Amino acid sequence: MDKKKVAVPLVCHGHSRPVVDLFYSPITPDGFFLISASKDSSPMLRNGETGDWVGTFEGHKGAVWSCCLDTNALRAASGSADFSAKLWDALTGDELHSFEHKHIVRACTFSEDAHLLLTGGVEKILRIFDLNRPEAPPSEVDNSPGSIRTVAWLHSDQTVLSSCTEIGGVRLWDVRSGKIVQTLETKSPVTSAEVSRDGRYITTADGSTVKFWDANHFGLVKSYDMPCNVESASLEPKFGNKFVAGGEDMWIHVFDFHTGEQTGCNKGHHGPVHCLRFSPEGESYASGSEDGTIRIWQMGPTSHDENDSVPGNGTTGKVKVSADDIAQKIEGFHISGEGETTEKEIATDA
């Protein structure tokens, strides 16, 4: 009897607590990179193609809820339950600045030009920090109706969007006036909001629904019911013809964007899926879970026998940037030995 053929992901170990956010950099001269946020308090940087561990950003004293890289993957930022957002040098791992808040920071993201950092959290305040003047007070928008869960930039940094932890909808704010210009209505709180690479769509996950919105005219383009409550969804960036969604059933579901038909279902996580993001060219996507692992799944036709496993430090046959190349470039950034995966000890949760 033939064995069932299934997709086999690269499995990236290292976090000791649930993985709650993932972010891919654009393609840089050194390849592309993946940063992960975890409740273990230590964001990790990886080679986005191979999953190889590059380094760990050490300094937070509570769960890290959000992480991002700037356009050139030279700086990273993270938002934490220790009431701070931190700016990091992504080449050395050094902390460049800590932006203090008065409560938990749930979301952070760089502007397109990488000069600004947007944060939001339990304080119900959107803050915009000028990274050229990190000591200067931030611009603030303080009339969010609830605790902020997600934030993103769009319209060449002229507009920001946010969603709330307990309230449905996505609010779009004019950066100059600080006023809400549009609300995208949803029945349930939006747990994931992603602006497509070409700026056409906003992808949201709320409850058991994934919606796609016109990012310029704000109309609802498509809405699909999911087989379970989903926490995250991501649209394939190159062709825009597929999307993935994951949540409480521990599986990653692949759908046709135009019809909503499920075309694949990838199993492997041992806990709910908290975050999903496509790589910059859409050839793979990463998932982060309550089980503390990151899994990188290929979109291509490659299949293997069920129960096969490929470690995150294994070879994939098309490595653009080797771990040695990165190690030579990044000095003093907690580089592990060749082929090793660093396990982090459990840190403070909040």
- Does 328 have pLDDT greater than 60? no
Q: What integer pLDDT is reported at residue 333 of this predicted model?
A: 52
What integer is the mean pLDDT of 298-318? 47
Q: Strands across the sheet with 75-80, in order?
A: 64-69, 75-80, 84-89, 95-100
Task: Work out the pLDDT band at 345, boundaries 50, 70, 90.
Answer: very low
Q: Distances in Å between the alpha carbon of 45 and those of 3, 76, 111, 212, 282?
A: 35, 9, 20, 29, 19
Task: Concatenate the DSSP letters of all residues of 264-314 into one string.
Answer: EEE---SS-EEEEEE-TTSSEEEEEETTS-EEEEE-SS--EETT--EETTS
Q: Hey, is 329 helix, strand or coil?
A: helix
Domain boundaries, the chain: 16-140
- Does 305 have pLDDT greater than 70? no
User: What is the Cα–Cα distance from 253 to 262, expressed in whole angstroms?
Assistant: 7
- Does 108 have pLDDT greater than 80? yes
Q: What integer pLDDT is reported at residue 6 of this predicted model?
A: 72
Tens digit of each residue's pLDDT (9 = 90 or more) over 45-104: 999 999 999 999 999 999 999 999 999 999 999 999 999 999 999 999 999 999 999 999
Which residue has better confidence, 141 or 336? 141
Mean residue pLDDT of the chain comes to 88
Q: Are 201 and 214 in contact (CB under 8 A)?
A: yes
Instruction: Output the six-digit token pair for 166.
Output: 């307990």
Q: What integer pLDDT is reported at residue 320 of this predicted model?
A: 34
Kindly state the percentage of the chain with pLDDT values over 70: 84
User: What is the Cα–Cα distance from 6 to 217, expressed in whole angstroms?
Assistant: 40
Tens digit of each residue's pLDDT (9 = 90 or more) over 213-260: 999 999 999 999 999 999 999 999 999 999 999 999 999 999 999 999
Instruction: Output the six-digit token pair for 176.
Output: 């100059």
Closest by alpha carbon to 184, among 151, 150, 206, 213?
Answer: 213
Which residue has better confidence, 112 or 338? 112
Q: What integer pLDDT is reported at residue 325 of this predicted model?
A: 43
Kindly state the percentage of the chain with pLDDT values over 90: 83
pTM: 0.86
Tens digit of each residue's pLDDT (9 = 90 or more) over 166-194: 999 999 999 999 999 999 999 999 999 99
Task: Work out the pLDDT band at 301, boundaries 50, 70, 90.
Answer: low
Task: Work out the pLDDT band at 7, boundaries 50, 70, 90.
Answer: confident
Q: What integer pLDDT is reported at residue 273 of this predicted model?
A: 98
CATH 3.40.50.2300 is the classification of domain 16-140: no
Q: Which of 20-24, 91-95, 296-300 has the lowest mean pLDDT?
A: 296-300
Which residue has better confidence, 333 or 187? 187
Amino acid at 204: T
